[in-house]
Structure 1
Amino acid sequence: MEYKRFLLLLLVGLAACSKSQLAFQPASGPPSAREGYTLVWNEEFATDGKPDSASWSYVHGFVRNNELQWYQPENAVVRDGMLVITGKREKVSNEFYQPASTDWRKSTPSAGYTSASINTKGKKTFQYGIIEVRARIDTAMGMWPAIWTLGVAGSWPANGETDIMEYYRVEGEPTVLANAAWAHAQKRAAWDERKVPFSHFLEKDPEWPEKFHVWKMDWTAAYIRLYLDGELLNEVDLSHTINPDGTNPFHQPHYILLNLAIGSNGGTPAATAFPKKYEVDYVRVYQRK
């Protein structure tokens, strides 16, 4: 009896160990079903090479927020069942350089870092449902990974922005953010923000940065709920997200963006060792039947 008990405990231990190891690697097998929902689109990053051009496009150069990186397609590849966006420390000349320009994107002669930003604009758009993304982010100083959506109609912020995941420094402290933005009559944008100190997650799991995690956007006409590993981070009441012209940017289709920014809100990367990797296991979109 003692021998059988030992074998049972050993098998239970091995099963638990095997399950915990799954957190460190891409998922295998087909997407799970959700009761009451239909899987309308999914990207499993199963074929090595470049991201599927039928679904994904790139941005190029300096783009947002006085960030340090030069975005280029070369830094986004699919391998081993993942999208891998690599941040590199390398000098790239700004091909759009105009020394007399007042636009920082043109007046900056070169970049000291490169990365990639991809999106589904004009290819895959969604209105309502569940967007689920499993990813592993690098939490080093200077990193600013994001999973977000933008509305297809209007200019920012009137088109609406949902930050399913952002990670950067807030007053010097590493922070996980879950936000929504729309237009405001008196300031640049109205925000419904949730800023969670990264220490909240590290206290629960010191190995958090080495593991994959699931971010989820649950979106209806009434609300947007943003989750991390099943924990509700923010709920946005869409009766309040009204632009000055009376439109609601979250009552229209949105497209998905994945990017790794460097510097700016991410902090200075000067002492950080490169390259850095932002790995996305899958993107899945479910809608109610």
Structure 2
Amino acid sequence: MRIAAILALGVAGAALAPATYAQDGAATKGSYELVWADEFDTDGPPDPAKWVWDTHANKIGWYNKELQYYAADRPENARVEGGRLIITARKEALSDRADHGGQGYSSARLITRGKADFTYGLVEVRAKLPCGQGSWPAIWMLGATAPWPDGGEIDIMEHVGTTPGDVFGTIHNRSTAGTSGNGNKIRVDDACTAFHDYQLLWTPRELRIAVDGKPYHRYANAGTGDDQWPFDKPHYLLLNLAIGGAMGGAVDDAIFPAHFEIEYVRVYRQAVRGAAPAE
């Protein structure tokens, strides 16, 4: 059995109690089994059985003062090639598209809404990030049953060109609305030149965000209700490369085309122990 990673169940110097999960989904005592994945092993467009092109705010403009237009069904912005999903941002205005909102950059935003959503488990995305000024790649989850912020948001990975190598993990919900969220960061010096595993461990008790099996942020269920813990309901996955905006900052046009490369997305659920044999 090849062990994909060990995600330690402790943070900030706390005692570690490792839980392992297997790439092949083998359900062993105390392990996690694979329940959903995209290995990006077929060249062409992203698998339509798993991903939706999200374009809903193109005409009005994307949130956080972002500058990109998210194209649909366009290999120049998202394609599977050589075992990787490649999301590419470009300096171009696709003004011939009916939903164009005047943006001077193109990119892609892929989501699993309506295809797959999840409640609890272990999410792992192996990726290499763009590192230019103004780039803002993200791996995250949104609540599938209520609008933001009531549905909750789990930012497994965000990275911006203004602080290359700083990787952020952040939680948003009704109780954090009006703030920058509840989060932390970790230093990954080669985030833009090497692939790393960006991970979330999600249980009824807490959310733990990690890179390469090293947890760096924990958000606990305080037991105070949905405003603080909407994370007992389904969430769907998002992969996108935004440009500029409140977090992305000023854009250096010399960075384009900018590439966000993903080797796989895997979701595991804790294996259910079989019933004891009859006496």
Q: Give the TM-score band, short-chain normalised.
A: 0.7 to 0.9
Instruction: Figure out how many residues of one structure are paired with residues of the other and give that number.
Output: 237
2:210 pairs, out of 227, 236, 259, with 227
Quick check: which one's helix share is greater? Answer: 1
1:184 pairs, out of 158, 175, 179, with 175
TM superposition score normalised by structure 1 = 0.76
Give the aligned partner of residue 46 of structure 1. 41
CA distance in 1, matches of 2:256, 2:99: 26
Change (3 A) 1:164 1:268: same
After superposition, what is the alpha-carbon deviation per residue over 1:105-132, rounded to whole angstroms, capped at 9, x for unaligned?
A: xxxx511100000000011111111000
Amino acid at match of 1:178: G
Kindly report the root-mean-square deviation, in angstroms, between the aligned alpha carbons of the 2 structures. 2.2
Is 1:165 aligned to 2:157, yes or no? Answer: yes
Give the aligned partner of residue 193 of structure 1. 183
Q: How does 1:101-112 map to 2 (within 5 A)?
A: 110-112=102-104
CA distance in 2, matches of 1:189, 1:54: 36
Q: How does 1:1-289 map to 2 (within 5 A)?
A: 31-33=23-25, 35=28, 36-60=31-55, 61=58, 62-73=61-72, 74=74, 75-93=77-95, 95-96=98-99, 110-168=102-160, 172-174=162-164, 175-184=166-175, 187-188=177-178, 191-196=181-186, 200-202=187-189, 207-239=190-222, 242-244=225-227, 248-264=229-245, 265-289=247-271
TM superposition score normalised by structure 2 = 0.78
CA distance in 1, matches of 2:199, 2:134: 24
- Indicate the percent of aligned positions where both proteins have the same amino acid: 38
CA distance in 1, matches of 2:207, 2:154: 9
CA distance in 2, matches of 1:168, 1:210: 15
Q: Secondary structure at the match of 1:168?
A: coil
CA distance in 2, matches of 1:251, 1:190: 22
Q: Which runs of 5+ in 1 are unaligned?
A: 1-29, 98-108
- More divergent stretch after superposition (269-278 vs 210-219): 269-278
- Offset of 1:261 from its aligned partner? 0.3
Q: Which runs of 5+ in 2 are unaligned?
A: 1-21, 272-279
